[in-house]
């Protein structure tokens, strides 16, 4: 099978640089274009300079032109920008891997609609290990369905703009579904003041922001006399990049459809 030609949005950011590195080293993929917003100081320079070398791909600011040269776009930018790029992919018939978080319910519907026309992988977290944790959480929740309080604790760097993280919310969704609950109805986001006794049917979220924490997530099942914790900690952004490339390869030759990493990894 021929290589999947990759375009990278937001290529000069922290995640964009990691995606460039992973793509240049990856098997079954090739970097054909990279772009960022107009006015970025790296526009017109070789994308490899972001890693201290050259790769022959020039950073541009024309999203449509960059996407048109590729088979698949990988996008970890912001919701508004990602949706603009999604519509370009849709008009050009290109695949897209979306790692951006912070979408509203209406914006998620736009992504779902695009999946009727083009192949899309959309997931709150692209890391293979995190998606293994999602699977473990569903099983743990079914076993611990009585007498255990559920708390989701997540920590990220000071620059993250959405909270709780998309991964934390997905963990809550997985647990809620396994317990037969609606997360919209049972979620608690932070506590302050006299809160009263804990409602045993709630799923609570705690958010930490500081320093350069890449991403830590823990789901705590707290019972009487014992605690079960399922934790994933990211030491770098490379797992997200590697998972994204795995998703891009998964989309090679596929017809339209909306997929997530559980599909990519065969965990359904």
Q: Which residues are annotated as catalytic?
A: 156, 160
In whole angstroms, what is the distance from residue 248 CA to residue 261 CA? 11
In whole angstroms, what is the distance from residue 4 CA to residue 94 CA? 11
In whole angstroms, what is the distance from residue 218 CA to residue 230 CA? 6
E strands present in 129-247:
149-156, 187-189, 203-209, 215-223, 226-234
Cβ atoms < 10 Å from Cβ of 181:
19
Cβ neighbors of 93 (< 8 A, separation 6 or more) are 117, 118
**Angle formed at CA 222 by CA 216 and CA 228, multiple of 5 degrees:** 60
In whole angstroms, what is the distance from residue 171 CA to residue 166 CA? 9
Q: Are strands 119-122 and 95-98 parallel, antiparallel or unpaired?
A: parallel
Look-up: residue for tokens 């604790």?
153
């Amino acid at each position: 099978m021929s290589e999947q030609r990759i375009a990278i949005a937001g290529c000069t950011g922290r995640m964009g640089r990691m995606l460039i590195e992973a793509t240049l080293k990856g098997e079954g993929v090739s970097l054909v274009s990279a772009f960022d917003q107009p006015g970025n100081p790296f526009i017109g320079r070789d994308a490899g300079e972001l890693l201290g070398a050259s790769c022959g791909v020039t950073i541009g600011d024309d999203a449509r032109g960059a996407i048109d040269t590729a088979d698949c776009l990988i996008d970890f930018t912001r919701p508004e920008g990602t949706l603009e790029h999604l519509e370009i992919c849709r008009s050009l018939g290109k695949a897209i891997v979306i790692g951006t978080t912070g979408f509203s319910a209406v914006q998620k519907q736009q992504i779902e609609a695009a999946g009727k026309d083009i192949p899309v992988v959309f997931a709150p977290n692209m890391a293979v290990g995190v998606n293994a944790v999602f699977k473990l959480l569903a099983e743990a929740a079914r076993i611990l369905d009585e007498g255990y309080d559920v708390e989701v604790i997540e920590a990220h760097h000071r620059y993250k703009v959405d909270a709780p993280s998309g991964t934390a919310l997905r963990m809550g969704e997985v647990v809620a579904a396994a317990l037969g609950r609606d997360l919209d109805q049972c979620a608690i986001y932070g506590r302050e003041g006299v809160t009263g006794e804990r409602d045993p049917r709630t799923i609570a979220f705690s958010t930490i922001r500081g320093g350069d924490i890449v991403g830590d997530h823990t789901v705590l099942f707290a019972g009487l006399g014992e605690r079960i914790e399922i934790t994933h900690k990211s030491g770098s952004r490379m797992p997200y990049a590697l998972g994204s490339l795995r998703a891009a390869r998964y989309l090679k030759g596929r017809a339209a459809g909306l997929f997530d990493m559980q599909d990519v990894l065969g965990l359904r």
